[in-house]
């Protein structure tokens, strides 16, 4: 804010730069091999000075972290519909739906790419945050008196297949995501 | 074979070079960020001339392809025990067990890294080959008169969680992999 060039609506400008840089990063992740993507290339695509990117993010891995954070906290925010089935169906459809335009595979690739060498046994930060959100979804349902599966069951029966199809195969049609929810709720005796 | 320098046991030397280069690649995948790994670095670690690597593999992505191929066809070959439960338990334990020394996460990272930009809707070559092998396992069981799940059920209930834990979380203990097999066979009414 002390920088004269950024005096006019610094928050707005900052947010616009971040959005442009994130969009450019996702586009390049879709078009190019990871080893070809660099700060200068992202800067060019986003129409932002390289120096701004180096000052704000420093490295491509740090920029990827920020893209994944933003996605986890906004686009992929978990629903609160009033029933566990409703929450799960909205969540599963949301993960499956953007697959049509490849955002989820790109984010998952970014999470895989940001795995820290030398820390192979540590769950990624993005994964731990998502676990925390899913546990909160289950806790709300239990507090309402619903029969709920364990977090491990939710991860294995619903989340893992969605991510698996996104990463290794063709995306699962959103309509099929409901089948995974039925399978999970069948484990705890909830009727379909 | 017409090359005088490789006249003595050319197959043996070739196989030794390939093994050394694959091992060096896997070590570097574990230690370094992907963008730091290069043909010269692999050559140095493997104790092989750079020129040999460039001539034989050309690029890092081509070398990664070869590492994944080798792993799929040997280390991760599917069992044929005489029952579907036996096949699945050996397979699940084999995928989970090497997690202890990080080979599976490294291979999965390599598969993710080799995904071809511009072909986001195409299952990876390694994935299609693994699907073919798993379908053959199910076909053998059906030919013996066993009740078998569909390939989609096998992928969703057993394979996806194993890969999910390997990529995003801490590895699943091999003993827990049997729980996934029980869940799958429960779907088709096989007793545990």
pLDDT value for A6: 43
Longest Cα–Cα distance of chain B, Å, equals: 63
pLDDT value for B66: 85
Complex-level ipTM beyond the 0.90 threshold: no
pLDDT value for B100: 47
- For residue B183, the chain A residues in CB contact (below 8 A) are 156-157
The residue of chain A nearest to residue B164, with distances taken between CA atoms, is A160
Could you report the per-residue pLDDT of A115-153, keeping only the tens digit for each? 555 554 455 666 777 888 899 999 999 999 999 999 999
pLDDT value for A36: 79
Average pLDDT estimate for B19-30? 88
pLDDT value for A122: 55
Below-70 pLDDT ranges, chain A:
1-11, 74-76, 97-106, 109-126, 169-171, 173-174, 190-192
- For residue B156, the chain A residues in CB contact (below 8 A) are 157, 160-161, 164, 180, 183
pLDDT value for B10: 52
Q: Residue B3: pLDDT above 50?
A: no
What's the rounded Cα separation, in Å, for the pair A172 and A184? 17
What's the rounded Cα separation, in Å, for the pair B93 and B26? 21
Q: Residue B108: pLDDT above 80?
A: no
Partner residue opposite B121 with nearest CB, options A122, A168, A170? A170
Give the mutation candidate from B40, B107, B112 for the A interface (greatest A CB count, under 10 A): B112
* CA-to-CA separations, A90 to A27, A97, A151, A160, B86, in angstroms, rounded: 26, 10, 17, 16, 37
The residue of chain A nearest to residue B38, with distances taken between CA atoms, is A35
Could you report the per-residue pLDDT of B151-175, keeping only the tens digit for each? 999 999 998 998 888 777 666 776 7
Could you report the per-residue pLDDT of B63-107, keeping only the tens digit for each? 887 887 787 776 667 888 999 999 998 888 877 765 445 566 667
Contact check, Cβ <8 Å, B31/A118: yes
Higher pLDDT, B148 or A10: B148
Partner residue opposite A168 with nearest CB, options B60, B111, B118? B111
Partner residue opposite A164 with nearest CB, options B60, B122, B160? B160
Higher pLDDT, B176 or A170: B176
The residue of chain A nearest to residue B107, with distances taken between CA atoms, is A112
How many other CB atoms are found less than 10 A from the CB of residue B149? Answer: 21
How many other CB atoms are found less than 10 A from the CB of residue A9? Answer: 10
Structural domains of chain A, ranges and CATH numbers in brackets: 4-58 (1.10.10.60), 72-187 (1.10.357.10)
């Amino acid at each position: 804010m002390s920088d004269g060039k950024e005096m006019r609506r610094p928050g707005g400008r900052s947010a616009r730069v971040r959005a442009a840089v994130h969009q450019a990063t996702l586009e390049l992740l879709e078009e190019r091999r990871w080893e070809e993507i660099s700060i200068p290339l992202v800067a060019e695509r986003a129409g932002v000075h390289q120096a701004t990117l180096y000052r704000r993010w420093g490295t491509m891995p740090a920029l990827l972290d920020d893209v994944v954070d933003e996605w986890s906290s906004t686009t992929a925010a978990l629903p609160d519909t009033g029933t566990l089935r409703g929450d799960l169906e909205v969540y599963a459809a949301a993960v499956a739906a953007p697959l049509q335009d490849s955002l989820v595979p790109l984010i998952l690739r970014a999470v895989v790419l940001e795995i820290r060498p030398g820390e192979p046994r540590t769950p990624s930060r993005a994964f731990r945050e998502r676990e925390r959100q899913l546990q909160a979804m289950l806790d709300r349902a239990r507090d309402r008196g619903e029969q709920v599966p364990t977090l491990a069951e939710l991860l294995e029966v619903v989340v893992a297949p969605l991510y698996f199809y996104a990463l290794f195969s063709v995306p699962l049609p959103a309509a099929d995501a409901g089948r995974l929810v039925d399978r999970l709720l069948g484990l705890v005796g909830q009727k379909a």
